[in-house]
């Protein structure tokens, strides 16, 4: 918890200390999802951060494309319950 509070203010005046940079968790792209449910269309990517799984919408990915490489070829298959 202490590192989380330190890292929350780690970037100041456009600079970050090397020690702080090494403590920031890295987002890992697992693959793409394109699945239609009855009322919702899931189109985006599954990512892993600190062993937790997250879904990132396509609109967010497009907004971040100029800053981050989102290249992954694998499509994650969704299995119906």
pLDDT digit string, tens, across residues 24-68 = 788 888 999 999 999 999 999 999 988 899 999 999 988 888 877
Examine the pLDDT at 2 and tell me if it is beyond 70.
no
Contacts of 58 (CB under 8 A, 6+ apart): 43, 44
Examine the pLDDT at 5 and tell me if it is beyond 80.
no
Q: Please, is 45 exposed, middle or buried when counting C-beta atoms within 10 Å of its C-beta (0-12, 13-18, 19+)?
A: buried
* pTM: predicted TM-score of the whole model, two decimal places: 0.70
């Amino acid at each position: 918890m202490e590192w989380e509070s330190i890292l929350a203010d780690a970037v100041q005046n456009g600079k970050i200390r090397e020690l702080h940079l090494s403590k920031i968790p890295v987002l890992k792209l697992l693959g793409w999802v394109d699945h239609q449910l009855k009322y919702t269309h899931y189109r985006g990517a599954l990512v892993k951060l600190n062993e937790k799984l997250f879904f990132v919408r396509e609109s967010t990915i497009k907004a971040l494309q100029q800053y981050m490489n989102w290249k992954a070829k694998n499509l994650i298959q969704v299995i119906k319950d």
